[in-house]
Amino acid sequence: MSHLIQIHCASEARLALQPYFFSQDRAHVFRVFGVSIAEAAFTETGITVTFPLESPMEELQALHDLLVRIDTNHDVTIDDTQAVIGYLGDGTVVTVYRHFKRWLDFLSAARVRSMEGVVVEVRANGVKLAEGVLRSYELMEDGEFYVSACTIEADGLEHFEGELSLAAVM
């Protein structure tokens, strides 16, 4: 069983899309760092792309980026209604192409919510600022999701602001 994406396009566009896929064992595949993550079949009406139901987030991100690149640079219509990977909090269906960025933000916000009351490491630009129990946080969604402020408790309360990342300490 696998997810299915239909990319409808004219024959000229189909030819222009071939370089996105690597030919391997009589099949066309989309590869990331040498690993095949999706298969493509060229048809009269476009391309059919399939990928496993249980794909890691990195592979879903790579497929999303590929579809954005194809849609931006070529005259195509993408039908990914058979590539549902999740749902937003309001029940909106998320596919590998549609609502994907909102879904990543939704998952990131849920991850931060789950860290309240847990010992976290606060980082800015990859540099560790502090470690302590997460007491509060503010989320920012301005193009990309990030934590814009947080308060932790270590030896008293400490407040941080900026583009922050949080990670639970095990």
Reading the block at residue 99, the tokens are: 């609502």
Nearest alpha carbon to residue 86 among 111, 116, 47, 55: 55
Decide if pLDDT at 109 tops 90.
Answer: no
Q: What are the tens digits of pLDDT across the range 55-79?
A: 999 999 999 999 999 999 999 999 9
> What is the pLDDT at residue 28?
87
Confirm if 23 and 31 have CB atoms less than 8 A apart: no
Give the mean pLDDT of 93-104.
93
> What is the pLDDT at residue 143?
52
Rounded to the nearest 5°, which phi and psi values hold at 59?
-70, -40
69 in helix, strand or coil? helix
> What is the pLDDT at residue 145?
60
Interatomic CA distance for residues 166 and 162, integer angstroms: 12
Rounded to the nearest 5°, which phi and psi values hold at 20?
-70, -20
> What is the pLDDT at residue 144?
56
On the CB side of 50, CA atoms within 13 Å amount to 8
DSSP state of 163: E
The fraction of the chain above a pLDDT of 90, given in percent, is 46
DSSP state of 88: -
Reading the block at residue 69, the tokens are: 């690149």
Choose from 22-26, 113-117, 125-129 the range with maximum mean pLDDT: 125-129
Window from 80-84, 122-126, 129-133, 165-169 with minimum mean pLDDT: 165-169
Give the mean pLDDT of 31-45.
87
pLDDT mean across residues, the chain: 88
Give the mean pLDDT of 120-134.
90
Give the mean pLDDT of 114-135.
89
Q: What is the DSSP string of 91-128?
A: --EEESSTTHHHHHHHHHHHHHHTTTTSEEEEEETTEE
Sign of the CA dihedral running 90, 91, 95, 96: positive
Q: What are the tens digits of pLDDT across the range 2-30?
A: 899 999 999 888 889 988 888 877 778 88
Reading the block at residue 101, the tokens are: 């960025």
| Cβ-proximal residues to 4 (8 Å cutoff; 6+ apart), any chain | 48, 49, 50, 82, 83
